[in-house]
Every structure is written in C-alpha cells, then in structure tokens.
Chain A
Amino acid sequence: GDSVTQMEGPVTLSEEAFLTINCTYTATGYPSLFWYVQYPGEGLQLLLKATKADDKGSNKGFEATYRKETTSFHLEKGSVQVSDSAVYFCALSPHNAGNMLTFGGGTRLMVKP
C-alpha cells in the first residue's frame, strides 16, 4: 500500500537558520503530495501542495518540489522564525482511490530565538 516516510524529529534550529525536512513516498501511479502543519493545540492546516512531477509548491516562505525520480517531496525554508515551531506532516493522496490522505509520522520543529 501507499506510505510516506519523513525524518524523525525533533529538529531544533536557531532563528534564521535553513530548514530541510525530508519526505519520501511509496505509491502507485501519480499521487498528489502535501505538507500540512499542526500548531500546538490546533488542527492541521494545509501548507503547500504539488499535483504532478516537477511541480513546486510554495507558501509563507516554505517550498517543496515533487520529484518523481526520487519519490521525494522535501520541505525547505531559507530562514525559519520562532513562529514556525510546529509539527509538519507530509502526506499523499492517490488519484481515483477515495482521496484519503496517507500521512507520514510528522516532524516536530523547534526554533530557538
């Protein structure tokens, strides 16, 4: 079945550091890929998405590129802020298969001032 693997956290960075959170997936066909963010005590919010190979999703300074050849969708941000501290989930949604999301285990990011 489909699966998503992300780097385990926590990831601890200083403010203005560069962020990379790795995500790889296993799926048949051409799934859509997503990054969701969960702030403490809240539900998940869609951060960005990409729907086909080589698409780049971007939002709030975060970026991720759909790499079919490496089955990856790594999340990057050039300069993190304390307010970016949260748990980040990589997810996929297969086409024509109920549209449920399959999530990775989540990566907690802690940004220190």
Chain B
Amino acid sequence: DSGVTQTPKHLITATGQRVTLRCSPRSGDLSVYWYQQSLDQGLQFLIHYYNGEERAKGNILERFSAQQFPDLHSELNLSSLELGDSALYFCASSARDALHNEQFFGPGTRLTVL
C-alpha cells in the first residue's frame, strides 16, 4: 500500500459526459501528479501540482482540468468525454524535498467511456 488513495476505482460513463476523479496523496506529500495509461499511448504525464499551484503540464487535453485543494487532495476533471479517453488514470505523490523525485502511485481509476 503506497498510501495514495484514488476514488472511484472504476467509472463507466457515456460520450459527452463529465467525470471527476479524486486523489488523496500520502500524508505530508505536497506534490500530486496525474498520469494516463492507455493501450495506444502508454503511460503519459498529464499535470503536476505542488501545494495547490500548477507546476507543469504534459499531454493534457483542453477538455481536462485539475486542481489541488488546501487539504492537498486533488481532482482531475474530464469533460466532453470521447471513446478514446477510456484509460487508467493514476495519481502519484511525492514529498516536498524527495531526493530525485521518488513518486508513489495510487491504485488508479479505470475509466470506460461507452
């Protein structure tokens, strides 16, 4: 158990809908990262938040957005969903001063868009 929790574990929805994925980092970790794992694109970095502020963006679509709240949990919002958004979405966290960025991953949310 990494200490990172993600809810829900599974999500099934229809095209055009909007969903919110939630992540709680390990106790004391200030950084939260979101990754998407799909069969065709592999594991891709989406976005990084540190202590409530966005720090870096990767291959994140404009239909996707995220935020980190004062209690440090984070939410990833996916809107106008398409079939191709079906994937595993992982959240990871790291400590403020983690040497060379050791990231701890949650169990993931499996999103299925029908």
Binding site for B on A (CB under 8 A): 32, 36, 42-46, 49, 51, 89, 93, 95, 97-106
Q: Is the interface of A mostly helix, strand, loop or mixed?
A: loop
Q: B35 contacts which chain A residues (CB < 8 A)? A: 101
A47 to B106, CA, bound (A): 15
Q: A42 contacts which chain B residues (CB < 8 A)? A: 107
A42 to B6, CA, bound (A): 12
Q: A106 contacts which chain B residues (CB < 8 A)? A: 42-43
Judging by beta carbons under 8 Å apart, are A32 and B42 in contact?
Answer: no
Binding site for A on B (CB under 8 A): 2, 4, 31, 33, 35, 42-45, 48, 55-56, 58, 90, 92, 94, 99-108
Q: A89 contacts which chain B residues (CB < 8 A)? A: 43
Given contacts A45-B2, A98-B56, A100-B56, A32 and B101 within 8 Å (CB-CB): yes
A97 to B100, CA, bound (A): 11
Judging by beta carbons under 8 Å apart, are B42 and A103 in contact?
Answer: yes
Q: B103 contacts which chain A residues (CB < 8 A)? A: 46, 101
Q: B99 contacts which chain A residues (CB < 8 A)? A: 51
Judging by beta carbons under 8 Å apart, are A99 and B94 in contact?
Answer: yes
A104 to B101, CA, bound (A): 17
Q: A44 contacts which chain B residues (CB < 8 A)? A: 90, 92, 105
